[in-house]
């Protein structure tokens, strides 16, 4: 498996420390639960990347723990949008360059306003998608925020 995804190349260029972890891909189940189970890590250390459409921002990104559910009203408020909704799955690759189950908050086609659940700040490291199914990046939450110019905010209900 080639491990030089766009996200990995950007981390290398920025000289940010990270680890890569491979896991067994199940094309029928690309859920955060399955990834965490396959990797043998706690679901709350695995953060999923959600891409949304806003009323002010055409696209925005939320990074939340794998077991959590995004509070759309909280995201709309902190992002300055009246409301926001999930980006239709059919548009994900065109907008981000990534596919479902392999969407990294690092290295999308364009930089979008990005928000990370504030609980991540309590973790030494978190796991995020490396930009393709079967590969995760383990890094410090502050490094993720630096790479994505993200804010740590309360995003979950």
* pTM check: above 0.85: yes
Q: What is the percent of the chain where pLDDT is above 90?
A: 92
- For 6-153, which CATH class? alpha beta
Q: Is 90 exceeded by the pLDDT of residue 67?
A: yes
Taking the C-alpha atoms of residue 16 and residue 106, their distance in angstroms, rounded to an integer, is 12
CB distance 10 to 131 below 8 Å? no
Average pLDDT for the chain: 95
**pLDDT at residue 2 tops 90:** no
Q: What is the DSSP string of 53-122?
A: EESSSS-EEEEEETT--B-HHHHHHHHT-S-EEEPPGGGHHHHHS--TT---SSS-SS---EEEEGGGGG
């Amino acid at each position: 498996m080639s491990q030089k995804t766009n996200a990995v190349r950007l981390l290398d260029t920025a000289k940010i420390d990270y680890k890569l972890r491979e896991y067994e891909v199940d094309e029928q189940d690309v859920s955060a639960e399955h990834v965490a189970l396959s990797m043998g890590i706690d679901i709350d250390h695995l953060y999923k990347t959600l891409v949304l459409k806003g009323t002010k921002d055409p696209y925005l990104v939320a990074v939340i723990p794998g077991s959590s559910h995004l509070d759309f009203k909280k995201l709309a408020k902190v992002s300055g949008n009246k409301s926001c909704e999930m980006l239709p799955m059919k548009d994900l690759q065109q907008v981000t360059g990534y596919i479902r189950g392999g969407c990294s908050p690092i290295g999308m086609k364009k930089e979008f306003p990005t928000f990370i659940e504030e609980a991540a700040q309590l973790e030494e490291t978190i796991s995020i998608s490396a930009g393709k199914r079967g590969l995760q990046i383990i890094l410090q939450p502050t490094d993720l925020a630096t790479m994505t110019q993200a804010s740590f905010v309360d995003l979950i209900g």
